[in-house]
Structure 1
Amino acid sequence: MKKSLGDKRNELGKEHIRELVRLYGECQHNATSDVLIDGKVETRTCSKIFDNREFGFLKITVERPLRLNFQASPERIARLAEERAFQNLATSKKRKDEKAAAAEIAAGEEEQQAILQVLESLDGSVLYRSRPAFLKVMDAAFKRAGMTLAAPVKKAVLAALSEQDQTAEICRDRNGNPEPDSDLRDTEIVPLPEDIALPLPLGYDDKTGHDELVKLVREHCETYLKAEVLPHVPDAWIDHSKTKVGYEIPLNRHFYVYQPPRPLHEIEDDIKALEADIVKMLGVIV
Structure 2
Amino acid sequence: MSESKPKRKKLAKKLLHKYRLVILNEDTFEERLSFRLNRLNVFVVGTSFAVFLIAITTMFIAFTPLREYIPGYSSTELKRQVADLTFKTDSLVNVLDYNDRYIENVKRVLTGEVSPADMDAEALEDSLTKEKERPDPSEVDLSPGKEDLALREEVALEDKYNLVGKSLSKVNFVLFPPVSGAISNAYNLEEKHFAVDIPGASGTPVKAAADGIVIFAEWTVETGYVCIIEHSFGLISVYKHNGSLSKSQGELVKAGEVIATMGNTGELTTGPHLHFELWSNGYPVNPTDYIDFD
Query: Which TM bucket (shorter chain)?
Result: under 0.3
TM-score scaled by length of structure 1: 0.20
Asked which structure has the greater RCO (Cα within 8 Å, sep 6+), the reply is 1
- Larger-gyration structure (1/2): 2
Which structure is higher in helix share? 1
TM-score scaled by length of structure 2: 0.19
Which structure is higher in strand share? 2
